[in-house]
Amino acid sequence: MKPLRIASGGPAPGRVEVVLEPAAEAGGTLAAFLETHGFPLNSRCGGRGLCHGCEVELGGRWVKSCQVSVGEALAAGGEVAIGPASLRNERLAGVQEYELQGVARDYAPVPRAGLGLAVDVGTTNLAGALWDLSTGRCLAVAGRANAQGRFGDNVLARIDYGTTVAWGGENLRQALGPGSLAPLAEDLAERAGTRPEAITEGVVAGNPIMLHTLAGASLEGFLRYPFRPVFLDARTMAAEAVGLPGSYAVTMVPGFGAFVGADIAAGALACGMAGNGEPSLLIDFGTNGEMLLREGGRCWATATAVGPAFEGGRLECGATAAPGVVSSLAWGESGWQPQWVGGGEGPRSGKARGLSGAAYIDFLALARAQGMVNPLGRLTAAARARVARGREGQVEQRLELGWGLHVSEADIAELLKAKAAIGAGMLALLDCAGLRLEDLRRVFVAGSFGYHLQPEHAMAIGLLPGLPRERLHLVGNASLGGASLLLLNPGLGEPLAAVRARTQCVELNLCPGFGDAFADCLALEPLSAAGAGQG
């Protein structure tokens, strides 16, 4: 049988060309073949042909490699080109930064011997920290892609996969514990010069769907309203049972509701929102946008379907933070000016690997200010270039940024939907509490995407409320911060229980006016002027 010729990474540097002998595997899918031979692809639908993540060019056509057998690929000429957007990036930078707000004096660590592991399990990314429990010193932090990503790029897709595909639940469990958490622990231990077996305690925060799959619990209760999760309270499991090497107890942080999880609960601790106090809002920008609003002695929490756009998902040049990726954009006399992840001059080849979520927000704000896009994200005549797309013969409108990067109208539409989900969610919570945007004294912005935002750009397009800058606090991975606090001082379970007791979960789809608020928030305009752009 003749060989398959694989070219990977596009024309940019790092292009790899290999010749593989598929003799024994001709019946399997091309995607599975590529994965076993060191080319894991961005499949987000579990190989069901629903997403575009595993598309490759075969014989001049774009095909979903999960829908093509190796034999068919050979019959089509055997020349396979994998574009940069289809290649999966597993080791991540930038998801593990966090800051703790005003908590040091209240929440002193309780020193004891041992090595502690704190982890935030996100839908898209995991982030972990390793702590010396005797000194309260952080020994290492690290991030990693959630290997469940290949089964769906959002929690609904994972629930669907876990409940409708044979062995789906087990595949999710394997991908998360042994497949993501264990390598993360290993990475952390290596960075700290120790072994993962030396860990003595673990605390894990994450949304309820992630914690359920980690615990091997059924996702059936998330299928239809009214939702009935198997557990929301704190749960302790043996490290071994969640796929971690070593023998110690891993505690899962309790959550608020079916879609409002331990991650936001931990975040509330990290932001000092556990107690009574002035009107404050915590927004955790993740694939599921979770929010907690505090007004006096009460709290309201919700989750809104943001999708993966802010983490670079579903965007043509979207990327998670890594060398060669643009971290932020400015606009000057000479056009678009990128800053690069990790600093420096950018790739010598002149070709970028992609744009981070925060850079897309810079783009939207600046392009809007320069009149390159209208309030609903259409490129204006002067700005756009019509580009014939390789796929399905469509023609799309896009704006070239240089460095081989572009933003299309379809990308902007994805970003607008994500932005509107956040905006409408915030307005719904404020409505519950009878507050206006300007009543908010403190807004904590959590998540790695939020940490790298330029607040004035986020405010300009209505992603964050337009408030005086000093009221906005970019806190990074608050879930990891809170999990770390709970690890260092297990007594913090008490204030956490108190927040849970006075928090009401809000189901956005049941809020009258949520759909209208969503439509209002689509426009690229400051949030305080919601409803503008309509007249």
Partner 1 sequence: MSLEALKAAVIHGKRKEVEVLVPALLAAGAEPRVLLDGALLPAMGEVGERFKRKEIFVPEMLVAARAMKAGMQILEPRLIASGIRPEFKALIGTVEGDLHDIGKNLVATMWRGSGFEVVDLGTNVTAAQFVAAIAEHKPQLVGLSALLTTTMTAMRDIIRAIRATGEAVKVVVGGAPVTQAYADEIGADGFAHDAASAVDLARRVLAR
Give the shortest CB-182-to-partner 1 separation in angstroms: 30
Give the shortest CB-107-to-partner 1 separation in angstroms: 37
187 or 411: whose CB is closer to partner 1? 411
248 or 259: whose CB is closer to partner 1? 259
Rounded Cα gap, residues 311 and 357, in angstroms? 5
Give the shortest CB-158-to-partner 1 separation in angstroms: 12
- In the DSSP assignment, the letter for residue 436 is -
125 or 304: whose CB is closer to partner 1? 304
Decide: 148 and 161 in contact? Cβ < 8 Å.
Answer: no
Q: Which residues of 239-260 are buried (b: 16+ CB within 10 A; e: fewer)?
A: beebbbbbebebbbbbbbbbbb
Rounded Cα gap, residues 262 and 214, in angstroms? 13
90 or 516: whose CB is closer to partner 1? 516
100 or 463: whose CB is closer to partner 1? 463
Helix H, strand E, coil C: the string for 190-254 is: HHCCCCHHHCCEEEEEECHHHHHHHHCCCCHHHCCCCCCCCCCCCEEEEHHHHCCCCCCEEEECC
Which residues sit at the interface with partner 1, rule CB under 8 A? 156, 159-160, 163-164, 223-225, 376-378, 394, 396, 409-410, 412-413, 416-417, 420, 507, 509-510, 515-516, 518-520, 522-523, 531, 533-535
Give the shortest CB-91-to-partner 1 separation in angstroms: 32
401 or 521: whose CB is closer to partner 1? 521
Region for residue 94 given its phi and psi (left: phi exceeds 0; alpha: psi -120 to 50; beta: otherwise): left
Rounded Cα gap, residues 360 and 495, in angstroms? 37
Polymer length in residues for the chain: 535
Rounded Cα gap, residues 509 and 511, in angstroms? 6
- In the DSSP assignment, the letter for residue 2 is P
Give the shortest CB-420-to-partner 1 separation in angstroms: 7
- In the DSSP assignment, the letter for residue 381 is T
> Could you tell me the two tokens for 362?
């810079």
349 or 534: whose CB is closer to partner 1? 534
Give the shortest CB-512-to-partner 1 separation in angstroms: 10
221 phi/psi in degrees, rounded to 5? -70, -10
Give the shortest CB-359-to-partner 1 separation in angstroms: 20
Give the shortest CB-231-to-partner 1 separation in angstroms: 20
Rounded Cα gap, residues 84 and 56, in angstroms? 10
- In the DSSP assignment, the letter for residue 107 is S
344 phi/psi in degrees, rounded to 5? 90, -170
CA distances from 185 to 80, 140, 146, 272, 327 (A): 35, 10, 13, 27, 27
Give the shortest CB-257-to-partner 1 separation in angstroms: 13
Give the shortest CB-274-to-partner 1 separation in angstroms: 30
Give the shortest CB-379-to-partner 1 separation in angstroms: 12
Nearest to 255 by CA among 305, 294, 308, 292: 292
20 or 521: whose CB is closer to partner 1? 521
How many CB atoms sit inside 10 A of residue 278's CB? 11
141 or 159: whose CB is closer to partner 1? 159
102 or 531: whose CB is closer to partner 1? 531
273 or 418: whose CB is closer to partner 1? 418
Query: Taking CA 51 as the corner, what is the angle to CA 146 and CA 376, rounded to the nearest 5 degrees?
Result: 100
